[in-house]
Each structure stands twice: as structure tokens, then as C-alpha cells.
Amino acid sequence: MIDSYYLKGGVAMELRFAGTARTTKDFDLVLEGNRGERIRRLEDVLQLTFDAFTFRLKPEIHEMELADTVRVEVAVQYKTRAWQTVDIDLGPGEAREVDLVEPAITGLAEMGIPMTAHVRCLGLNEQIAQKLHACTGPQREDRARDRSGHSAGRHAGPARLCADPGCGGADLRRARDARFSADRCASRGVAGGT
């Protein structure tokens, strides 16, 4: 159904670092195609079930013009009961590198929920660059997804990784450490490192 996708943002960080990553309220899902094609692909995939979960795209769509992204809401049901509504930001594919991430999330198997072996996520190098940009870039009216905590006034620049849990600075430090550890292991011919 979706031949090429990847996750980025907080969910990708959670998949990599589980309990040590800050939680997020939305999924950043990247699909190829224009906005209409991305929505249709998501609708097709949502027709599939997962375990006892079913999914339904809610009708309201929020256009995010500056990011060529649309935010949709997906209602999730478990068996016959409403479980949760999830915000999904559908953006265009631009990654140079995509990693196959083995989810580091614990507890799902214990609850009897199956888990996939790997999830396609934005490459860690690009993930780090995006986090740096979000934490250090100046706040401007024309930036598509500024958060008030990412303004230049609260973050002094790339040399200072903010400790504000809303910023993602702690996630960035973990991602940086994992990347450098993996690079050192690879340079010495050692497998693993993350």
C-alpha cells in the first residue's frame, strides 16, 4: 500500500530511545506525492487492521502551507471501543538517508500486542540536523512550525543544547551520542554501537 515512507520527529526518537526520549503528541509521517496523494495513501492503509485495532480518518484536514504538510486526525479503536485520536502530519519525502530502526519500546509484547521488527525512520544524521535547527533557529513568522520554546531568545545557539523538555535538546544529545558511538564502532570494524 505504501511503498515508501518514513517517520521523523518525536516518534522516530521514541522508537530509537524509548523511555529516555520525550513523548510526543503527533506522528510525522513522510510519504511521496502531493498532499492529495498522501491523504489517499494514508486512507488506503488505514483500511487495514492491526491486531484488534481499527483506524478511521476524521474529516477535518489542517493545511500547513509553509511546510507542504497536512495534519489529519485518525480515530483509533480497540475491538469495539474508542481508544485514542492521533494527529498525523503528512509531509513530503526529502530524506537522503532512511534508517531501519528496531523499536526500543518495551511493554507491548507483555500486553500481547505484536511489534514489527523494523520501522523506517529519518536517518539519524538528518534527525540531528533537524533537531539542531528547531532548537537554535530564529523564530520567524514565515517558519512553518515554530514552537515558542524554540525562539532565539530562549536558546543561545548550537553550542548550548537546551534542557527544556519541550525543546528536544535531551533527545538531541542522545541521538548525537548514539551516532558518534556507532561511527566510532564502524571505524574500528566493530558491529553495533547504538
- Give which of 54, 52, 56, 55 is closest to 113, Cα–Cα: 52
pLDDT at 147 > cutoff 70 = no
Q: What is the pLDDT of residue 51?
A: 83
Average confidence score pLDDT of the chain? 76
148 domain-assigned:
yes
Query: Domain containing 158: what range?
Result: 5-187
Q: What is the pLDDT of residue 52?
A: 87
Q: What is the pLDDT of residue 87?
A: 96
Pick the more confident residue, 13 or 183: 13
105 domain-assigned:
yes
177 domain-assigned:
yes
192 domain-assigned:
no
DSSP at 69: E
C-alpha span between 163 and 161 (Å, rounded)? 7
C-alpha span between 141 and 33 (Å, rounded)? 27
In this structure, of 92-96, 135-139, 179-183, the range with the lowest mean pLDDT score is 179-183
Q: What is the pLDDT of residue 37?
A: 93
Domain count, the chain: 1
pTM: 0.69
Q: What is the pLDDT of residue 111?
A: 82
15 domain-assigned:
yes
In this structure, of 16-25, 83-92, 123-132, 178-187, the range with the lowest mean pLDDT score is 178-187
Q: Where are the beta strands (DSSP E) in the chain?
A: 5-8, 26-31, 53-64, 69-78, 81-92, 98-101, 119-122
193 domain-assigned:
no
Pick the more confident residue, 23 or 74: 74
52 domain-assigned:
yes
Q: Where are the beta strands (DSSP E) in 79-176?
A: 81-92, 98-101, 119-122
pLDDT at 27 > cutoff 80 = yes
194 domain-assigned:
no
pLDDT at 85 > cutoff 80 = yes
C-alpha span between 109 and 95 (Å, rounded)? 31
